[in-house]
Structure 1
Amino acid sequence: MLQIPLWKRIVILALVLSGIAFAVPNLFYGRVEAHNDAIVAAERVGFETPEQAVARGGWPDFLPSGLVNLGLDLRGGAHLLAEVHVADVYKARMEALWPEARRALAGKRATIGAVRRAPAPDGELRIQIGTPAAMAEAVAAVRDLANPVVTLTGVGESDLDVTAEGDILIVRLSEAERAATDDRTIQQSLEIIRRRVDEVGTREPTIQRQGADRILIQVPGLGSAAELKALIGTTAKLTFHPVLGRSSEPDPAPGLGRVVYPSVDERGLFYTLDASPVVSGDELVDARPDFDQNGRPAVSFRFNPTGARKFGDYTAANIGQPFAIVLDGEVISAPVIQSHIPGGSGIITGSFTVEESTNLAVLLRAGALPAGMTFLEERTIGPELGADSIEAGRIASVVGLAAVVVFMILSYGLFGVFASVALMVNIAMIFGILSAIGGTLTLPGIAGIVLTIGMAVDANVLVFERIREELKTAKGPARAIGLGYERAMSAIVDANITTFLTAAILFFLGSGPVRGFAVTLMIGIVTSVFTAIWVTRLLVVVWYDRRRPKTITV
């Protein structure tokens, strides 16, 4: 019989109304976006400006405020292709290894003699041994510092390759460790870039690895590629060093274990520092814009327990000594330690503006990039191109929708009208689901929606044709309609499952535009099956219950 229980009718209506409710904010895109951005900005800084209050009031808080995010090709924005200098990490590893190797060899000085660091190319550590005859003992002592490589392919291998040439002990990263380090460096860079971009509230960026050492970054809605480079191009590597001296001229040969960095505040002043930092930015757990005792912009910071202990021990033992705060190879501050600083908290002062202190806090809080980057490709895509694409997509969707509606009405009469109403609901539900999940719509995604419009009535065509067949043999129109939906179900499910599987394969194996197309296609398949089987059926049942026709024409 042609019956739909009351609870099913309620569920169908609830799903349809929910889809429409989540889709409606996209009709007021600018107002809703300003409302959302104002809320995010106020939450980030802890207070709301009058302008943000006005923007937030532009859309009621009790209504859904999710939007379909527009991709780079629709909204415009910034595109960068960056190459990560993975070799920088090898050098940093060797710099960090030298103090440990020196301590390990110091305990064997009686047999191996004096040790000193020898000049070496980047990525190597070379140590000169006073007694070459005891080189085997020195090699064994340094090899004890090695650790197993933590990868599936490097199981059982050491992370250090220790060899000897004459009186020189040479330490390098092993091949397995280099491969693992490269992978970790790229993954860490991806995560830190994502944090930095998310901190400024941009919508749905594309940040993904390309090849062995490259990263693709696309941020819709950002003003320019230069702005994106300024945000992510700085390594933001913060370190705290003992000050060994300062002068108006840079020392061209400061000696092994020493570095010379320029001062940011005092132009023409150069600091000679111990190359091994006391504490590094890796041990920071928080950084926030602040003001110093004179009301000037500054950045407050806090270390984790390990960093707090090292910071406290050093300040306790070096009261009255200068302590350099270095950011990306420049001394931004070199205060004199006035007293023991327990707790691991402090403040960075300098010639900051409020904007600069805020940006520095963002960079420090997101973490330091493990290595520098070179930008191989940069593009700024203007919003005008995106507007043209949206208009072209809108025209294609309207033309496709109109053609389908006309065809269905001419072919199936009143039943075609029901199918057309369900098609409108289907489109609304697609946008509603995209808004609810925070999906991104690209130009290929629009193509997926246009394709869905054409495919959405396939299920209705199968049902209506089946009803035509049943009218020839069934007893009464109600029985024909019920059998039509029941016996067309297998064909509908089979056709849509195969299409859904194809779209899923495109999503998991594709990238960028292909995935955008696959997402809208998969969502469209689900909603079209729902609207074809349940929404049109509900419309037919309600119409039949009210009219009770003796005969029907499909």
Structure 2
Amino acid sequence: MKTRVKKILSIVIIAVVVIGWYASCFGLGSINNLKDSLKYGLDIDGGVYVVLKADTGHMSDAKVKKVMDQTKEVLNRRVNAMGVSEASVSVEGKNRLRVEMPGVKDAKQAINKIGKTAKLRFTLADGTTIMTGSDVKNATASQDQENGGYKIVLKLSSSGQSKFADATEKAANGDVTATVQNHGTTVSNSSIVIWLDNDILTAPTARQRIDSSTCEITGGTGGMSKTEATEEAALIRGGSLPVSLHEVSSSVQTASIGANALNKSIVAGAIGLGLVFLFMIIAFNLLGVFADIALALYVLLVLWSMKMIGAVLTLPGIAGIILGVGMAVDANVIIFTRIKEEIGKGRSIRSAVDEGFRHALVTVLDSQITTLIATIVLYELGSTTVKGFAITLMISIIVSIFTAVVVTQVFVSTLADSRAAKYTFFGCHADGTPRRWIKHQVHFIEKRKIFYCCSGAFIVLGLCFLIFHGFNYGIDFTGGTMIQMDMGHKVSTTEVKKAVSQYKLDPTIVYSGKGNKEVIIRTGKSLNANQRDAVQKTLEQKFNRPSNSVISSEEFGPSIGSELRNNAIKSILIAALGMLIYIIFRFKSWKYGVAAIAGIGHDVLVLIGVYAIFGITVDNPFVAAVLTIVGYSINDTIVIFDRVRENRHIMRGKPVMEVLDTSITQTLDRSLMTSITTEVAIIPLLFFVSSELAAFVLPLMVGVAVGTYSSICLCSPLFYEFNKREEASRYAQIAKNKKRIEAKKEEHKAEKKREEEAEKTREAQRAEQKQASLPEHSSAAKPKKKNKKNQQKHVSYKRKK
């Protein structure tokens, strides 16, 4: 890409960020501000949800799926017909349906309406079934011009028309003996009774045979009220459900609490984001500014993506976005750290930027994809609240890859092409040496036994607490009911317990809110909407409180808790298996995968220990917290292992311990910076948002620290343990080969010496044989005469000496 094009793109990106944030905060033309455009969950908007379980019996899985899809469509029509805006119906688990009605204030009325969504049937006065809801094509409310008020107009199918004609003829002629009772009174012989399960919806009388595709239900003189006609028409129009449903859990949230939490979350998010911006500038100078622009764009893209796809933003979802900021920072930190290293090797700035992005891209993709695996599992197996967190985190991961790899690269490449580029702009000193927090190699591997002991001790402590004290399970795990009420002033918990004693709840009552003006009543009994309403009315009368004093109430059946526990275990196992397969595939060795998964097991056990030791409530978000930590931990481990894989080629022949220590030291700055920025981003949530969200955020903070620790101090040492025996055997083989070579050399020398001695012997033997073969009279056989002159000189020499 040409430099000119990069400069234009940089300007465009900055303009998009500025205009985008202005439009998000204040709106722009026909575009509303982001706060008013997003869809919010019940924990922010307030409202009612109810979970209904279908009696599917011994149906096959394929049949259950078909039945649940049919039931969902019926409930959708009925709920929407009630006029609740943004109502939703979703299948949850295998045979449950979750119905959410934002903005609804009357919990009892809403849940009772949903509770009346079972089988619709029409009978004669003697109870004989004549047709079902499937025979009704439509039902509407319209004005009754004859009697006044409103009436219900039914449109029947062809089969329903004939059935209805025969039934109305019998009813009108009085050929039926009435046995059906409605509120203790026997209905008229001429009645056509409309049932919802075992409850009578209405029992209009037939005056004559009605052989038509339409018929009317009137309310007599004065007609029906508009509300009555509309609601009954909606229930009839819903049709017959293929299965019966019963309530297993429900919840009521007030909008005031959620709105307050939303405002506080926005403030907390802004503070966290500001701290991250400042930290990046301090750490990376001008590169930090580029990262901040990319992060600002990241937040915009995540929020507007949620708006475009219609995703629901919940309070845990807000935590997911802020946690995603830390993940987005991580991608930038990996790239910037690698650029600094390349500059430190003596490369030019242009070359260092190209090499830094090339090497960092593999690490960024591997680390983020493994985290994405955990997020997908979280979405598939989590409840609706957890799904909101998962979808937010999923979008965050995808967007963070784009902003780091594409957007940041545009800015950094533009700077690298500039003549004004200096080493100091890239986090280096003026001479090109990288600025580092850790300047000397740290020998982690040789201290591995200390880390093993520390981790083992904490895990054993946590398990002891778990065995002897158990978890502090929330009602969504144990089953039960929670009611939170604003009492107007601090009241005695003893008085509250006495007021509800007639219901035999055996409740736990604690204070909440500013000045302890609120009470939270928890009981192990599952109370349906009507039972909760009775308890609430008793408290309202006893303490003279208005009907809107109930802040929230929840009910969970015991079956929900067991399924949540099973899903938590299943989620961790599936996520771990998926990560293991991916790591083995990418790193071409089981040792990397098993070491990484062992670290995940450690993190999960530590988090369980934290929950057990400190008594943190184990509820639905616990699954999200565990899987988020799993994803974060594997992210950090992959970054280190990616460097180990690279260094094993560069440092070929070096001991594994040295390669691991070098790799950890090279990535240590990145590990610490990512952990710090992630912690900094989510810390404000502890102080600004509700205690429920804080209980979710605190384990995340602990998990981030534990994930960083396990990646450095456990996963890498475990990888060394897996390679230690192989390395020892390799060195032993090398030594054995060396010894064998030396032995061969010595043997060769000895053989050569023996050959030389044998040759000398053969020479001597040949000389003797030659001497022996000469005749005695030959000159060669005669002894030579001594040189007299020389002999005399020799004698003279002796004398002188």
Same fold by TM-score greater than 0.5:
yes
> What residue identity is the alignment partner of 1:193?
L
Give 1 or 2 for the bigger CA radius of gyration: 2
Distance in 1, Cα, partners of 2:331 & 2:61: 49
Q: Is the 8 A contact 2:25 2:34 kept in 1?
A: no
Q: How does 1:88-127 map to 2 (within 5 A)?
A: none
Distance in 2, Cα, partners of 1:509 & 1:357: 40
What's the offset of the Cα at 1:538?
2.2
Note the alpha carbon deviations across 1:273-315, whole angstroms, 9 max, x for none: xx131x3322112222223342531122222232234345666
Change (3 A) 1:538 1:309: farther
CA RMSD of aligned residues (A): 4.2
Note the alpha carbon deviations across 1:12-45, whole angstroms, 9 max, x for none: 9699959986x988657xxx9xxxxxxxxxxxxx
Give the corresponding residue for 1:234: 116
Give the corresponding residue for 2:340: 468
> What residue identity is the alignment partner of 2:159?
T
Partner secondary structure for residue 207 of structure 2: coil
Distance in 2, Cα, partners of 1:324 & 1:19: 69
Distance in 2, Cα, partners of 1:64 & 1:381: 23
Give the corresponding residue for 1:456: 328
Give the corresponding residue for 1:196: 78
Length, aligned pairs only: 402
Q: Is the 8 A contact 2:336 2:356 kept in 1?
A: yes
Give the corresponding residue for 1:383: 255
TM-score, normalised with respect to structure 1: 0.61
Q: Is the 8 A contact 2:139 2:233 kept in 1?
A: yes
Change (3 A) 1:310 1:376: closer
> What residue identity is the alignment partner of 1:324?
S
Distance in 2, Cα, partners of 1:325 & 1:19: 66
Asked if 1:291 corresponds to 2:143, the answer is yes
What's the offset of the Cα at 1:81?
5.0
Q: Is the 8 A contact 1:79 1:380 kept in 2?
A: yes
TM-score, normalised with respect to structure 2: 0.44
Give the corresponding residue for 2:193: 326
Mean Cα deviation higher: 506-515 or 63-72: 63-72
Q: How does 1:313-462 map to 2 (within 5 A)?
A: 324-328=191-195, 329=200, 331-337=202-208, 341-342=211-212, 344-350=213-219, 351-369=223-241, 375=247, 378-462=250-334
Partner secondary structure for residue 203 of structure 2: strand
Give the corresponding residue for 2:590: none
Q: Is the 8 A contact 1:440 1:516 kept in 2?
A: yes
Partner secondary structure for residue 333 of structure 1: coil
Partner secondary structure for residue 342 of structure 2: helix
> What residue identity is the alignment partner of 2:157?
N
What's the offset of the Cα at 1:372?
6.4
Distance in 2, Cα, partners of 1:400 & 1:462: 21
Distance in 1, Cα, partners of 2:29 & 2:168: 52
Asked if 1:151 corresponds to 2:4, the answer is no
> What residue identity is the alignment partner of 2:39?
N
> What residue identity is the alignment partner of 2:155?
R
Change (3 A) 1:239 1:505: closer
> What residue identity is the alignment partner of 1:69?
K
Change (3 A) 1:237 1:514: closer
> What residue identity is the alignment partner of 2:355?
L
Q: Is the 8 A contact 1:67 1:438 kept in 2?
A: no
Distance in 1, Cα, partners of 2:285 & 2:47: 47
Asked if 1:305 corresponds to 2:158, the answer is yes
> Which of 34, 39, 58 is residue 69 of structure 1 equivalent to?
39
Give the corresponding residue for 1:104: none
Q: Is the 8 A contact 1:445 1:516 kept in 2?
A: yes
Q: Is the 8 A contact 1:75 1:383 kept in 2?
A: yes
Give the corresponding residue for 1:514: 386
Partner secondary structure for residue 203 of structure 1: coil
Name whichever structure is richer in helix by fraction: 2
Give the corresponding residue for 2:134: 282
Distance in 1, Cα, partners of 2:154 & 2:14: 48
Percent identity of equivalent pairs: 30
Note the alpha carbon deviations across 1:298-343, whole angstroms, 9 max, x for none: 12222223223434566689987796332232553213226x634x
What's the offset of the Cα at 1:534?
1.0
Change (3 A) 1:361 1:534: same
Distance in 1, Cα, partners of 2:13 & 2:166: 63
| Structure 2: segments with no counterpart, 5+ residues | 175-188, 427-801
What's the offset of the Cα at 1:475?
5.7
> Which of 477, 480, 484 is residue 352 of structure 2 equivalent to?
480
Partner secondary structure for residue 302 of structure 1: strand
Name whichever structure is richer in strand by fraction: 1
Mean Cα deviation higher: 500-509 or 189-198: 189-198
> What residue identity is the alignment partner of 2:132?
S
> Which of 420, 435, 448 is residue 549 of structure 1 equivalent to?
420
Distance in 1, Cα, partners of 2:112 & 2:276: 49
Partner secondary structure for residue 457 of structure 1: helix
Distance in 1, Cα, partners of 2:168 & 2:300: 63
Note the alpha carbon deviations across 1:246-289, whole angstroms, 9 max, x for none: xxxxxxxxxxxx33xxxxxxxxxxxxxxx131x33221122222
Distance in 2, Cα, partners of 1:20 & 1:304: 56
Distance in 2, Cα, partners of 1:284 & 1:505: 41
> What residue identity is the alignment partner of 1:70?
Y
